[in-house]
Chains A and B, each alone.
Chain A
């Protein structure tokens, strides 16, 4: 599918369609993100988060980075949100609407969020609004693997130590004794 997309992108016609898809997906992401933090039901919040993360994966497809897109789905949608849901089910969090969740900190949180959004959004628009990104073909996954096993080999090995240490430590902290 991405091959067809790339071929169409090469002659420049599809850029319009890409932009239309981008805006549509972005709108869904923004709406879902907003509902994610405003809903009073913690399970619904996790499900809205799925939409945000799936939207990010879709954006990566539009950029021709199929590997990153699939990783995004596997890791975030597949693993992390499922962990959230397990965490909600295993603890005694209320599954229904939680009326106590509307703290007086809402206003402060909203102010901070809006300010941060204005600052980062403004900086990005000022800096990159004239930049044209031309993606002529999908990026082969071998680029990612080559980078991991050459320039980033030390970081890659360090991550394996990190995972082992985190696993051992988490078992110690979590087990009953």
Chain B
């Protein structure tokens, strides 16, 4: 009836090809990897890691040209936005992905893995993250979340014959889809209230007085809880230790950095654009999540004997530090800008230092085949460079100047204090207390490496580190030092604002 007329009236929306160029480059290289895999089969193995790294570095080119161009671009009525915030996050994802490829090269080639498909999964997942950085509407956010998660579930179980890896993948998958279901229910409530999937429309629709409060509260809480799983905030962290321990170590590094950052990107867009008018709803929820994550993560990390599990719990605590500024963001526009800049800074520095710590674990585990804390005893005797690097990363994670971590924590506390509310100051004190708790277990590992003797009968000939892992150590170590000594550099890039986009 009337349908034909409507169908003819369709017009293709204008697409800004420059704005989507990073995504297109990743898409192209992902397709290339698949095609070479089909055409060359096993002969293509040697090419895969090289092509994946070239693809990721090539995706940096349009990100840089867009950054130099400087203009904010919005497509589809603001559903897909390229601004400074989106670009800095895309750069973090792509560079973190590049370091993960460096960590994977020897690990995947030497183990019994499906190598070609591994890099296809990795590139697909990074494509999802890059989309997430620009997504400003619920449908795009959800699809990007699934695109980055599903390859990650599969990569966690990539060590097929190892029961621990199977458990890792299955646990991650089940918890992940459960979180997705909660998130979707929250999104459907928000859509039901506001009649729009666009975050900028939702901002007006959920404002106090404009919508029934009960459904808005429920929708916001469900969405925050859904992303709480993704960023492994306490008490939604239960999958993280088992998944981190069982998954192949480069995948763990990827999950702990890139996947967590992707969860934060969506949470930031939602809080600063979508829920902006409902500080009364999201601030208490995030306050509790932040405080619980800091205490829960750090106290459980104290008892860990496996370094990967320890980093999983420390990752829970780090998620708490990053959630903290969001709990006071709504105080004023100035505080909001400061809080956003603090979280983005923290994500960038955290990516460098955490990937570095995993690079050392991978290098040492090549010798000891274990991430148990005892296998790091006396590392300084036979791997002095690795011991120094590990100490740098651990002290950076603890927040000791002049390494990168101190500036990240300083920005967080500054944002919390600048709110000048009781809740903000209390969180600032909690961050400080937890930094001291965390220092204990980071320093304990350092003392194992420097003071104690190697275990009986251990092979103490000097460790040889593959070139790719060395390159990853140089990149992450250099970034950790530069961020700490010249913080104004990273500060210049992370001074971004999302409120302008909200209008």
Which residues of A are at the interface with B, using a C-beta cutoff of 8 A?
A: 3, 119-120, 122-124, 126-128, 140-143, 145-146, 149-155, 158-159, 161-162, 164-166, 168-170, 172-173, 177
Beyond the given A142-B10, A152-B139, A165-B147, please list 15 additional residue pairs across the A-B interface where CB-CB is below 8 A. Answer: A3-B1, A123-B217, A127-B212, A127-B214, A128-B212, A150-B11, A152-B79, A154-B76, A161-B27, A162-B124, A162-B146, A166-B150, A166-B154, A169-B150, A169-B155
If A150-B76, A155-B140, A161-B30 touch, whether A169 touches B218 (CB-CB below 8 Å) is no
- Cβ contact within 8 Å between B13 and A151: yes
Q: Annotate B78-99 by CB proximity to A: 1 below 8 A, 0 otherwise.
A: 0110000000000000000000
B interface residues, how many (CB within 8 angstroms): 54
Residue B215 at the chain A interface, CB threshold 8 Å: yes
A126 to B157, CA, bound (A): 44
- Known: A151-B13, A165-B121. Is A172-B215 also a contact (CB below 8 A)? no
Q: Is the CB of B10 within 8 A of A151?
A: no
When the two chains form their complex, are residues B212 and A126 in contact, meaning their CB atoms are under 8 A apart? yes
- Interfacial chain A residues near B125, Cβ < 8 Å: 165
Do A162 and B143 touch across chains, with their CB atoms under 8 A apart? yes
When distances are taken between beta carbons in the complex, the residues of chain A under 8 Å from B7 are 142, 145-146
Q: Is B66 an interface residue (CB 8 A)?
A: no
Q: In whole angstroms, what is the CA distance A135 to B441 when docked?
A: 62
**Shortest Cβ-Cβ A-B pairs, 8 listed:** A127-B212, A169-B154, A123-B214, A165-B124, A127-B215, A140-B3, A155-B143, A142-B7
Q: Is the CB of A173 within 8 A of B121?
A: no
The smallest C-beta distance from B219 to any residue of chain A, in angstroms, reads: 9
> Is B273 part of the contact surface with A, judged by Cβ < 8 Å?
no
Q: Which residues on the A side are within 8 Å of B157 (C-beta)?
A: 173
A153 adjacent to B212 (CB under 8 Å): no
Residue contact B193 to A127, C-beta cutoff 8 Å: yes
Residues of A within 8 A of B20 (CB): 154
Q: Are A177 and B124 in contact (CB under 8 A)?
A: no
Are A143 and B30 within 8 A (Cβ)?
no
Give B452-469 as 1s and 0s: 1 = Cβ < 8 Å from A's Cβ atoms.
Answer: 000000000000000000
Considering the complex, give the chain B residue whose CB is closest to the CB of A176: B160
Set of chain B residues within 8 Å of A128, measured between Cβ atoms: 192, 212, 215
Contacts of A169 in B (CB 8 A): 117, 121, 150-151, 154-155
Query: CB-CB contacts of B116-138 with A at 8 A, as 1s and 0s?
Result: 01001100110110010000010
Q: A173 to B160, Cβ gap below 8 A?
A: yes
B123 CB, min distance to chain A CBs, angstroms: 9
Among candidates B121, B127, B213, B218, residue contacting A168 with C-beta atoms closer than 8 Å = B121
Q: Shortest distance in angstroms between B227's beta carbon and chain A's nearest beta carbon?
A: 18
- What are 26 A-B residue pairs whose CB atoms fall within 8 Å in the complex? A122-B214, A124-B215, A127-B212, A128-B215, A140-B3, A140-B6, A141-B3, A142-B3, A142-B6, A149-B10, A150-B10, A150-B76, A151-B13, A158-B128, A158-B140, A159-B143, A159-B147, A165-B124, A166-B151, A168-B34, A168-B117, A169-B117, A169-B154, A172-B117, A173-B157, A173-B160
Is the contact region of chain A dominated by helix, strand, or loop, or is it mixed?
helix
CA separation between A170 and B6, bound complex, in Å? 40
Asked if B12 is at the interface of the complex by the 8 Å CB criterion, the answer is yes
Q: For the complex formed, measure the closest distance between the CB of A39 and the CB atoms of chain B, giving whole angstroms.
A: 22
Q: Which residues of B contact A152 (CB under 8 A)?
A: 76, 79, 139-140
> B144 at the A/B interface (Cβ < 8 Å)?
yes
Distance in angstroms between the alpha carbons of A145 and B8 in the assembled complex: 12
Name the contact of B218 in the complex, choosing from A3, A119, A165 (C-beta under 8 A): A119
A120 contact from B30, B121, B155, B218, Cβ within 8 A = B218
Given A142-B7, A146-B6, A165 contacting B212 (CB threshold 8 A): no
Check if B114 is an interface residue, CB within 8 A of chain A: yes
Q: CA separation between A164 and B125, bound complex, in Å?
A: 12
Query: Is B77 in contact with chain A by the CB < 8 A criterion?
Result: yes
Interface residues of B in 1-42 (CB under 8 A from A): 1-3, 6-7, 10-13, 15, 20, 23, 27, 30, 34
Of all chain A residues, the one with the shortest Cβ separation from B222 is A120
When distances are taken between beta carbons in the complex, the residues of chain A under 8 Å from B12 are 149-150
CB-based contact B131/A143 at 8 Å: no
- Assembled-state Cα–Cα distance A126/B211 (Å): 11
- Min CB–CB distance A24 → chain B (angstroms): 23
- Residue picked from B77, B146, B169, B193, most chain A C-beta under 10 Å: B146
Contact B13 A153 (CB under 8 A): yes
Distance to closest chain B CB from A62 (angstroms) = 17
Q: How far is the CA of A166 from the CA of B359 in the complex (A)?
A: 28
Report the Cα distance A66→B142, complex, angstroms: 24
Task: Say how far B3's CB is from chain A's closest CB, in angstroms.
Answer: 4
- State the CA gap A168–B80 with chains docked (Å): 28
Q: Is the CB of A172 within 8 A of B13?
A: no
Q: A120-B218, A155-B143 are in contact. Are A172 and B114 (CB under 8 A)?
A: yes
Within 172-218 of B, Cβ neighbours of A (below 8 Å) are at 192-193, 211-215, 217-218
Q: How far apart sit A162 and B120, CA to CA, in the bound complex (Å)?
A: 11
Distance in angstroms from A146 CB to nearest chain B CB is 5
Q: Please, which residues of chain B bring their CB within 8 A of the CB of A119?
A: 218
Please name all residues of chain A whose beta carbon is closer than 8 Å to the beta carbon of B27 when the two chains form the complex: 161
A122 to B212: give the CA distance in the assembly, Å: 12
CA distance A119 to B222 in the complex (A): 12
List the B side residues contacting A122 at CB < 8 Å. 214
The distance in angstroms between the C-alpha atoms of A153 and B6, with both chains bound, is 18
Contact present for A153 and B76 (CB under 8 Å): yes
**In the bound complex, how far is the Cα of B20 from the Cα of A172, in angstroms?**
30
Cα-based distance from A170 to B154 in the complex (angstroms): 7
CB of A102 to closest CB in B, whole Å: 22
In the docked arrangement, what's the CA distance between A165 and B122, Å?
10
Question: Measured between alpha carbons, how far is A158 from B147 in the docked complex, in Å?
Answer: 7
State how many angstroms separate the Cβ of B45 from the closest Cβ of chain A: 14
Max chain B CB contacts within 10 Å: which of A143, A158, A164, A177?
A158
- Which chain B positions have C-beta within 8 A of A173? 154, 157, 160, 169
